[in-house]
Structure 1
């Protein structure tokens, strides 16, 4: 049975750094945090109470890198961290799991140490961490990073996690029965996502209008909430919403050309399988983790399990992994484009700047050092 990852304090300590990489914010010496006020903001963030805003109590400035899978987010984050006093928060819903390294393209242990990563290896594969729990942790990490004189850089592998950090999250009034979830999953398989989406349009038209990509996981989530709690999720998002602590955000979005992106996906997929994805998956199963666990049904691991069970030839498994990843990237690409049309200012579209990092670094420096 899947349980909830609740030992967030221990996980946070495991990902914390013993000493800061920068003693102060080197680009702009006036950026020296008041630790008492930071502690106050930290406590207020935990209780979801907005801190007092004033010139003497500046809110954190946060960088976010977003883009489809395999678009180069991690490589860009590392390049920026070489030039600027940054610490990285991985907002990836699969990289939170211990033992899932190759299939989730985790940074290496050396990279995690060098760039002071947070958000990795928080849970075991049979646990779950909600976006709200992750956001709660991320708010604490942001305050800790700022207190060390550095700037937080969120690398967004999961749009849901990034939105929870930046926009807040909805806490459920009670647990949704497992039987309800199972029935809806069965209906998804038998009736298809279009039928369930049409049902959502009737039950929660406001939310359905925001789910134009018809992502089946989000549709299931919305229907679970409606039938489990008796009210539309869009209404709950207003009623049970936990607002994030104030922060100034600069979002960097990667939009590589489709052909180039798909080529990267194919190359990375082959590299994962050659690096031991099957062996990693076998180790997880031998450790006693059930192949039906949600995280082991995701891209790559599902195909590796099929290979291990003799249900899929290796060559077909590699191609299916690449194909599923391309489809996933296409949905991410579409969502990011749509979200960008309605987003506030403070977004860098890297198609504007190409591959020249100096302009990006200059823009980020201006953002971090501008007077309040």
Structure 2
């Protein structure tokens, strides 16, 4: 919280050291930004917004759920008033019934840079999704586009055998693509890894071996306070109409994309609307 409350632009300038290009890109050292990460409800967006107001920077939201249109309350997107004060990117990029990958997000950011819409030393990145942040700080190797047929095949394995079924198939076809221990129970990561493996892509993405250059600032607070903030956020989301938002999305789109449907809060409200939760 220091950088939001100090009122000193110099404090923000000290951490503007993180390159957002691929490691082998000759311009990697030229593009730098402030990058803020931290747990849910710690106040990342508020801090990023205050830094941007102090420095005149733009804000890039690196969050895999904020890219979906209509998913506003449950993703705690910046308010309309905040967007009038600071220019935001990374929001409302796609309909929630469509898939959206980290590769698409990465290309979106590169396009912003090529078109001059974001500027080096004038950007605050706030996440969000660790994979999105890591793509920006480490880069991504080229990968084949998502395949609907292969994704259905992977989902069938998951529905039949769960995470263990996905791991077993990945161990059989491409054990080198098994995610790190922290992510090896994440079905979305495993299904995407299988999709890549079935297309014959080797080896894994280069950022698994790359070293981060620059500084990523992590925000934190005492656990008890964080739990209180999370509980308060949940209450506020319900008061602001999260149930109605989920109901409207279901009526408008029918079935959401697997990623959007699994968003924390949205999955639980859907179960509530279906009578599986009270």
TM-score in terms of structure 2 length: 0.77
Deviation at 1:75, TM superposition (A): 1.7
SS at match of 2:94: coil
The corresponding residue for 1:256 is 221
Deviation at 1:204, TM superposition (A): 3.6
Deviation at 1:218, TM superposition (A): 1.0
Aligned residues of 2:146 and 2:195 also touching (Cα < 8 A): no
Deviation at 1:135, TM superposition (A): 1.6
The corresponding residue for 2:155 is 185
- Higher Cα Rg, which structure: 1
- Paired residues, number: 252
Alignment partner of 2:118 out of 136, 145, 148: 145
CA RMSD in angstroms, aligned pairs only: 3.1
SS at match of 2:59: strand
CA offsets, 1:201-252, max 9 Å, x none? 454444436243322221121122112x1344xx1535xx9xxxxx974311
How far apart are the structure 2 equivalents of 1:181 and 1:140?
A: 27
1:130 aligns with 2:101: yes
Aligned residues of 2:137 and 2:213 also touching (Cα < 8 A): no
CA offsets, 1:108-150, max 9 Å, x none? 0111121211111111222333222222222344553327xx6
SS at match of 1:63: strand
How far apart are the structure 2 equivalents of 1:297 and 1:290?
A: 15
TM-score in terms of structure 1 length: 0.59
The corresponding residue for 2:255 is 291
How far apart are the structure 2 equivalents of 1:63 and 1:285?
A: 37
Unaligned runs of 5+ in 2: 1-8, 11-20
How far apart are the structure 2 equivalents of 1:52 and 1:218?
A: 30
Deviation at 1:266, TM superposition (A): 2.1
SS at match of 2:215: strand
The corresponding residue for 1:307 is 272
Deviation at 1:274, TM superposition (A): 1.8
Greater alpha carbon shift after TM alignment, 118-127 vs 194-203: 194-203
Deviation at 1:87, TM superposition (A): 1.4
Aligned residues of 2:157 and 2:165 also touching (Cα < 8 A): no
